[in-house]
Amino acid sequence: MNSHTPPRTEHNRRQARSQARATHHRPIRRPTALLGSLAFAPVPANIVSPRIGTLCTRFGFRGLVWNRCASMAIRAVVFDIGGVLERVGPPLWVEAWRARLGLTQSEFDGAVACVDPDGLAQTGGFTESQMRSSYAEALRLSVAQADELTADIWDWYCGELDEQLMSYVRTLRGRVRTGIVSNSADGARREESRRYGFPDLVDDIVYSHEVGLAKPDPAIFYLACARLGVQPRPAVHHLI
């Protein structure tokens, strides 16, 4: 539900995108491509580079923001997951579990807000096991209910694969370096690898909970560049 306030984790970002889609304000997919040491993001059609217009068209974007040296060859392309490679819908588990447990909206919201109040999950400070236990304690769940709730949350978190975008990403392998940078929570690599095989899709995946860094901290992008063998410039600022 739109009034639900979950703990400040990666779940929040995906829920916000879900709510935006529900109100017909679908966020634009924002892969970041590194043009050698440059980055671009989609913008209106009046700003476009003819040299990289083909890539723009294939992504379905109208234009690109780019820095100097438009003639520089693309060396790497980095994607986000939630709302990009995965289509994440509204968090239907929220209302379903509130009704199932017989809680009022305020009771449910208050309980869930205590699960990870400091938002530690996305930088690795709150494990999947701790998350499960915290939900169980806050909502007074049995072991079986905690397992079921965890499964429901992961189903929502992982959404559905954007097959069209995935098909395009597959064509990039061997032509440029490819990667993923995702704000995440413990268990995300397991669940997304099992469902969608992301490690076989790109050259490297940077999950925020594994590296202790989260977007929009520039450090996570510098790390991604280093792992892909791309040297970024300090001027790079159009990021995911």
What DSSP string describes 126-194?
S-HHHHHHHHHHHHT--HHHHHHHHHHHHHHHH-EE-HHHHHHHHHHBTTBEEEEEE---TTHHHHHHH
Confidence of residue 48 (pLDDT cuts 50, 70, 90): very low
Strand-pairing partners, residue 121, are none
Please give the single-letter amino acid code of residue 21: R
Q: Look at residue 164 and tell me whether its pLDDT is greater than 70.
A: yes
Indicate the DSSP class of residue 42: B
Give the tokens for residue 109.
């919201």
Dist. CA 63–CA 75, nearest whole Å: 19
Taking residues 24-36, report their average pLDDT. Answer: 37
The residue ranking higher by pLDDT, 220 or 234, is 220
Q: Write the pLDDT tens digit of every residue in 79-126.
A: 999 999 999 999 999 999 999 999 999 999 999 999 999 999 999 999
Q: Which residue has the tokens 């069209």?
A: 164
The residue ranking higher by pLDDT, 171 or 1, is 171
pTM above 0.75, yes or no: no
Q: Write the pLDDT tens digit of every residue in 50-82.
A: 333 334 334 443 333 344 444 456 788 899 999
Q: Look at residue 1 and tell me whether its pLDDT is greater than 50.
A: no
Q: Write the pLDDT tens digit of every residue in 167-215.
A: 999 999 888 889 999 999 999 999 999 999 999 999 999 999 999 999 9
Q: Which residue has the tokens 């209302």?
A: 95
Q: How do 32-35 and 38-40 pair as beta strands?
A: antiparallel
The residue ranking higher by pLDDT, 160 or 17, is 160
Confidence of residue 33 (pLDDT cuts 50, 70, 90): very low
- Count how many Cα atoms sit within 13 Å of the Cα of residue 175 in the half-sphere of its side chain: 10
pLDDT at position 195 is: 98
Taking residues 152-162, report their average pLDDT. Answer: 97
Domain range annotation of the chain:
1-240
Cβ neighbours around 77 below 10 Å, total: 23
pLDDT at position 149 is: 98
Which runs of consecutive H residues, i.e. helices, occur in the chain?
10-22, 53-59, 92-101, 105-112, 128-139, 143-158, 163-172, 188-196, 198-201, 208-211, 218-228
Check: CB of residue 175 under 8 Å from CB of residue 75. Answer: no
